[in-house]
Amino acid sequence: GQNIDQPTEMTATEGAIVQINCTYQTSGFNGLFWYQQHAGEAPTFLSYNVLDGLEEKGRFSSFLSRSKGYSYLLLKELQMKDSASYLCALMTTDSWGKFQFGAGTQVVVTP
């Protein structure tokens, strides 16, 4: 099976930067996805990494190191609306098309 670990909660100040780490264990990596979920709403897709390195999308960036089983989501210039849960999801070669989700990291942005 796959273990996916994320911190439970992080707090940061408006305008700051926060880095959400996700570590995983698998023998057949096939992709790492990040989702944002506001309270009471559906998850929405943020980013996808399949190769090592950094993917940048505006204020959000995601990094992957396959050899270390490690990814992070970087949120820059934090805004109050970024307060949400951030979910890391793993796709593996033995579960093609199926995601294994982490429990999520609750980010609280304070004024």
Partner 1 sequence: DAGITQSPRHKVTETGTPVTLRCHQTENHRYMYWYRQDPGHGLRLIHYSYGVKDTDKGEVSDGYSVSRSKTEDFLLTLESATSSQTSVYFCAISESLSNEQFFGPGTRLTVL
- The Cα–Cα gap between 111 and 108 comes to 10
Closest approach of partner 1 to the CB of residue 16, in Å: 26
Question: Given 3-state DSSP classes, what are the helix, strand and coil percentages for the chain, each rounded to the nearest 5?
Answer: 5, 60, 40
Decide whether 78 or 104 has the Cβ nearer to partner 1: 104
Binding footprint of partner 1 on the chain (CB under 8 A): 30-31, 33, 41-45, 48, 87, 89, 91, 96-99, 101-104
Task: Provide the minimum distance between the beta carbon of 104 and partner 1 in the complex, in angstroms, as a whole number.
Answer: 6
Provide CB contacts within 8 A for 39, sequence distance 6+: 84, 85
Q: Is the Cβ of residue 63 or residue 86 nearer to partner 1 in the bound state? A: 86
